[in-house]
Amino acid sequence: MSNKVWDEERIREEFKRLDSMTGLHGADLPITFGKAKHTLGCFYIDTINKKPKKFHFSLFYFGNPEWSEASALDVIRHEYAHYMDYMFNGSSSHGASWKACCRKIGALPSRLYNPKVEEINLHMENKQKEIDSQIESIKQGSMVIHPTYGIGIVNSISDDKRKLYINFNNEMRCLSAPWVTEHCQIVKKNIL
């Protein structure tokens, strides 16, 4: 999870991932940007040849590093669902077939952007950043006070930093790092 702007390359990577799920070629379409405040994204169809034309996104949102990653991904998937619906069903509305496409690729089947969902997304991302920061502060040799097992020493940490191997009175236990940060007291001073 990173709070950086969503440029063409980053959006195209998500389209490539979605293409691998659907067998389509949305990542090959042009991606353009504008500064609209009320339209987050659009999927355009060439009215003359009736073929997909491009995706368009608002820099007001996609250029904002404080905008949540979950909201950005939802808008990208929302527009891809329009493309998918057009390619499979010949439709590009917010109807039942579009909603089914949304569900298949992990977009909320909602017609409009919801600021309350953005609040929830930001809260969840900030909470995850806090947990990640706490996990980063745990080092080999840190003391952990567990509610059941008592005092333990972090013996080792998995490569992805999600599992801690803690020695509690000569008994090694593998615990989830997020669980430890939430339920245990961590003494920052290394014992080893």
Q: What is the pLDDT of residues 26-82, one digit of tens each?
A: 999 999 999 988 889 999 999 999 999 999 999 998 998 888 888 899 999 999 999
Task: Supply the pLDDT for residue 10.
Answer: 94
In 6-49, DSSP assigns E strands to 31-34, 41-45
Residue 89 token pair = 């069903």
Going 84 to 38 to 36 to 14, the CA torsion angle's sign is negative
pLDDT of residue 131: 74
Residue-wise pLDDT tens digits, 145-167: 999 999 999 999 988 888 999 99
How many angstroms separate the Cα of 119 from the Cα of each of 51, 85, 100, 122, 166? 36, 29, 25, 5, 36
